[in-house]
């Protein structure tokens, strides 16, 4: 069983560190054409994915989770703390990026939004993040909705700034949220 100290619960979901036993289940939906068409990196090989998960589990700045509904992994949310590109003396570990991949069989019920919102709270309330960012293809309307429901604002519309394996050059969006904005919205 995963470390319960880092297991979190929402109204309907359990968010916990991914375990090696989760790899096959995650790859079931991760490699579906309707899922990987929205990812920068399309299909992944099981051994390569397993190795990446093991590296992430050892990285103290990686707070990614598997998302369970009634004991079934239905998605993952990545939350990676990083140093920003700032002036000398900028506080370390004050920025983070969030991303997610969910099984489309569970779409339309708000599970992804619920999990992402919970991890946004982790970023600001537990990790002390100052600024959180996320990116998506502009045509990925489901992802746009998830980020906006989480309170993130669109900061950039990059025209043909993203390479899409099927479509070629496409537009991308960058979203951001500051800790002060998060706290103000919670009042």
Residue 133 confidence (pLDDT) above 50? yes
Tell me how many degrees the CA angle 108-113-117 measures, rounded to the nearest 5.
Answer: 170
Residue with tokens 């490699």: 31
Q: What is the mean pLDDT of residues 98-108?
A: 96
Q: CB-side exposure of 52: number of CA atoms within 13 Å? A: 11
Burial of 146 (0-12, 13-18, 19+ CB in 10 A): buried
pLDDT at 5 over 60: no
> Quick count: other Cβ atoms within 10 Å of Cβ 84?
15
Q: Is 56 exposed, middle or buried (0-12, 13-18, 19+ CB in 10 A)?
A: middle
136-176 pLDDT, tens digit per residue, is: 999 999 999 999 999 999 999 999 998 887 788 999 999 99
Question: Which residues have CB under 8 Å from 184's CB, separation 6+?
Answer: none
Residue 173, beta-bridge partner list: 136, 157
**All domains in the chain, ordered by first residue:** 4-186 (3.40.630.30)
Whether the predicted model's global pTM rises above the 0.75 cut: yes
């Amino acid at each position: 069983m995963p470390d319960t100290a880092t297991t979190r619960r929402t109204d309907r979901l359990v968010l916990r560190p991914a375990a090696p036993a989760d790899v096959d289940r995650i790859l079931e939906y991760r490699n579906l054409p309707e899922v990987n068409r929205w990812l920068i990196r399309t299909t992944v090989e099981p051994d390569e994915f397993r190795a990446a998960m093991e590296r992430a589990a050892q990285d103290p700045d990686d707070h990614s989770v598997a998302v369970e509904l009634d004991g079934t992994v239905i998605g993952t949310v990545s939350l990676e703390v990083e140093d920003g590109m700032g002036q000398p003396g900028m506080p370390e570990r004050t920025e983070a990026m969030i991303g997610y991949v969910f099984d489309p069989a569970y779409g339309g019920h708000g599970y992804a939004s619920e999990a992402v919102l919970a991890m946004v709270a982790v970023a600001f309330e537990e990790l002390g993040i100052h600024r959180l960012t996320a990116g998506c293809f502009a045509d990925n309307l489901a992802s746009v909705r998830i980020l906006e429901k989480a309170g993130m604002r669109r900061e950039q519309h990059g025209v043909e700034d993203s390479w899409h394996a099927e479509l070629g050059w496409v537009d991308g969006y960058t979203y951001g949220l500051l800790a002060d904005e998060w706290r103000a919205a919670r009042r």
